[in-house]
Amino acid sequence: MKNWIEAFSVIDFISVGILLTAVAMNAFRRLESCVRTYTVNSWLLSSLIAIVAFMIGETHLYIAAALTLVTKGILLPVFLRRIVKQMKVTHDVEPYINNALSLTISGILVAVVYASLSVGIFVSGFSKNVLQISIAVILIGLFIMITRRKAITQVIGLLFMENGLFLAGFSLTFGMPTIIELGVLFDMLMGVIILGIFAIQIKRVFTSSDLDKLTILKG
């Protein structure tokens, strides 16, 4: 099994999958597709952790994988889907820039990350691509946050950033101690729930889920 994983470089495949799902976010028009993409991304992240756990035989990484799966892979997507339904928004993402341009920019972001980290101050743990990919995912998440109009897409962008962050932390150090990871995940879960509540409030008070309307406070 271990030989098989190494021979087919499964770890690299999965991490590329994580990158591709992040890039694909730029192309989707419907909010439901975005949530689904995030789900796939989280499942890939979780399975990556599980495979590495199998390769190096660390029990605490299995726990980390399970935690990631439950929170990011199941709870958050279910919650996000409910929010999308409750908001009854037109289900389009409505980005500020068109999809082709935003795909191009994400591509450039990935290239920039690879170029700037190629000299490398890090000796990475199990695959030399994972750190670059994780930083790229963080940047793409940030990019999604600033170019989308809907409140809920900002939340999804933030979640992508955090997935990238987990991947980065994981590639650097084989994960934090379990209790810390539990705390971080709990914080994130609470944060997203609060953001979801606020998103519904924005919809109710501003009668729109567009963040363009949030311009009362200035200077």
Partner 1 sequence: MIAILLIPLVTAALCYALRSAKTLGYISFLGTVVLAAVAVPKVLASFSAPAEAMKGVLYMDSVSGYIMAMVIFLGLASALYSIGYLEHELKVGLTDLTGMRRYYALLHIFIFTMLLVTTANNLALMWIAVEATTIVSAVLIGFGFRKRAMAIEAAWKYIILCSVGITFALLGTFITYYASTAVMGTEGALNWTALKNIAGELNPSTMKLAFIFVLVGYGTKAGLAPIHNWLPDAHSEAPSPISALLSGILLNTAFYGIMRFVSIVEPSTGDVFTGNLLILFGLISIGISSVFILVQDNYKRLLAYSSIEHMGIISLGVGIGGPLGIYGALLHILNHALSKPLMFFASGKIQARYGSTRIENVSGVLSSMPLLGTLTFIGTLSLAGTPPFNIFISEFTILKAGVDKGLWPAVALFLLFAVVVFYGILAGFGRMLFEGAEKLKKAAPEDKGEAVAKVLDFPDMLGSGIMIVMAFCIIALGVSIPDFIDHAIRNCVAVLGVR
Kindly list the residues in this chain that would bind partner 1 in the complex (CB under 8 A).
121-122, 138, 142, 145, 151, 154, 158, 161-162, 165, 168-169, 172-173, 176-177, 180, 183-184, 186-187, 190-191, 194-195, 198, 201-202, 205-206, 211, 214, 216-217, 219
Q: Which lies closer to partner 1 via its Cβ, residue 95 or residue 157?
A: 157
Q: Which lies closer to partner 1 via its Cβ, residue 84 or residue 152?
A: 152
121: Cβ–Cβ under 8 A, 6 or more apart, which residues?
A: none
What gap in Å lies between CA 194 and CA 28, rounded to an integer? 25
Sign for the CA dihedral angle at 9, 12, 15, 20 comes to negative
Shortest separation between residue 173's beta carbon and partner 1, angstroms? 5
Shortest separation between residue 193's beta carbon and partner 1, angstroms? 9
Q: Which lies closer to partner 1 via its Cβ, residue 8 or residue 120?
A: 120
- The DSSP annotation for 68-99 comes to HIIIIIIIHHHHHHHHHHHHT--SB--BSS-H
Q: Which lies closer to partner 1 via its Cβ, residue 13 or residue 198?
A: 198
Shortest separation between residue 100's beta carbon and partner 1, angstroms? 26
Which two structure tokens, joined as six digits, stand for 108? 């450039």
- DSSP character at residue 9: T
Which two structure tokens, joined as six digits, stand for 154? 């900002």
Shortest separation between residue 4's beta carbon and partner 1, angstroms? 29
1: Cβ–Cβ under 8 A, 6 or more apart, which residues?
A: 54
